């Protein structure tokens, strides 16, 4: 008998991690680092779901989603630093912390 659950979890992990990169970039662009708490809330929700879902495959996918959300908290702050370095475009409608440092 062939079991595909491991492969499905692997593909889901790949897709979730791949999805979070553009989500972090867009979230920082529109909301700045203030959006970190959204990633925290999604992470906590994913942990709770993983704890209460009986099927191992779906529980594992929720766990991957949860810890990808937690990792995104760190990434959103690093994204701001990448913008400061000029590696990513600035949102012209936002004021960045380093803009305040230059003024005074």
Q: What is the pLDDT of residue 79?
A: 96
Q: What is the pLDDT of residue 98?
A: 83
Q: What is the pLDDT of residue 77?
A: 96
Report the predicted TM-score, pTM, of the whole model to 2 decimal places: 0.88
Q: Do 29 and 87 meet the contact criterion of CB atoms below 8 Å apart?
A: no
Q: What is the pLDDT of residue 99?
A: 83
Q: Please list the rounded mean pLDDT of every run of 10 residues in the chain (104 residues).
A: 94 97 96 96 98 97 98 97 94 86 63
User: What are the angstrom distances between the C-alpha of 30 and each of 9, 27, 35, 91, 93?
Assistant: 31, 5, 9, 7, 9
Q: What is the pLDDT of residue 4?
A: 95
């Amino acid at each position: 008998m062939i079991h595909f659950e491991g492969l499905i979890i692997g593909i889901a992990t790949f897709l979730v991690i791949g999805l979070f990169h553009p989500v972090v970039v867009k979230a920082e662009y529109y909301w700045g680092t203030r959006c970190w708490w959204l990633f925290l809330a999604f992470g906590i929700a994913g942990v709770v779901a993983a704890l209460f879902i009986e099927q191992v495959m779906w529980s594992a996918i929720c766990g991957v989603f949860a810890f990808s959300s937690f990792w995104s908290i760190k990434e959103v702050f690093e994204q701001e630093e990448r913008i400061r370095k000029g590696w990513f475009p600035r949102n012209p409608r936002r004021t960045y912390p380093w803009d305040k440092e230059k003024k005074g």
